[in-house]
Amino acid sequence: MTLDIAPLLKLRRQPERMLSRLEKACYATVRNALDLSMFDVPRGDRTPDYDENGNEVAAKRHERPLSETGFLDGPEYHMDRRLSVTWVAGYAHHAAGAIHEGVHWDRDTVNPEPHFLKKAFRRSRTIGRKGVKKAVEQALKELFPQT
C-alpha cells in the first residue's frame, strides 16, 4: 500500500483556510457555552461591604454584577507545529474565580454549583464536535474537489 502525501502537504501549506473554518465552529461552541453558563451564575442577594462607620462602600455599590461581565475572547491562532485556533469564554469579575469553585463573594454557598463554566462547556461539547466535523469536511471538499 502506498500513501500519497501530496494532499497532506497541500493542506499543511494552507493552514489559514482550515483554521478560519474551525474558528467559526469554535466561536459557536464557546458562545453556546457562555449562554448556558448564564443560567448557573449566582445572582442577587449580595451582601454589601461596609466601612468602619457602617456605611456601604461606594466601590462595591456601583460594581457591575457578575452575570453582566461575561466575555468572549478570540480567535487566537497558533501557527506552530500543531496548528490550532482558540476562543475563550469567561467572566471579568473579581469574584468569578471564587464562584467557579462554588464560593459566592468570599463565602460558601449552600449547595454550590461548582465549575459552572465547565458544566456549560460539557453541555456544548456535542455542538462543538458537530461544528468542527462540518467545518473540516467543507474545507477538505474545497481544497480537494472530487474529479
Q: Convert the pLDDT of each residue in 103-131 to its tens digit.
A: 444 445 555 555 667 777 788 888 889 99
Residue matched to cell numbers 501557527:
79
* Confidence tier at 102 by pLDDT (50, 70, 90): very low
Which residue would you say has higher pLDDT here, 128 or 43?
128
* Confidence tier at 68 by pLDDT (50, 70, 90): confident
CA distances from 118 to 39, 50, 121 (A): 13, 33, 5
What is the domain partition of the chain in residue ranges? 33-143
Lowest-pLDDT range of 72-86, 97-111, 123-137? 97-111
* % residues pLDDT > 90 (the chain): 9
What does the pLDDT read at residue 100? Answer: 52
Torsion-angle region of 91 (φ positive above 0: left; ψ -120 to 50: alpha; else: beta): beta
What does the pLDDT read at residue 136? Answer: 84
Report whether pLDDT(29) > 80: yes
Which grid cell is 110?
449552600
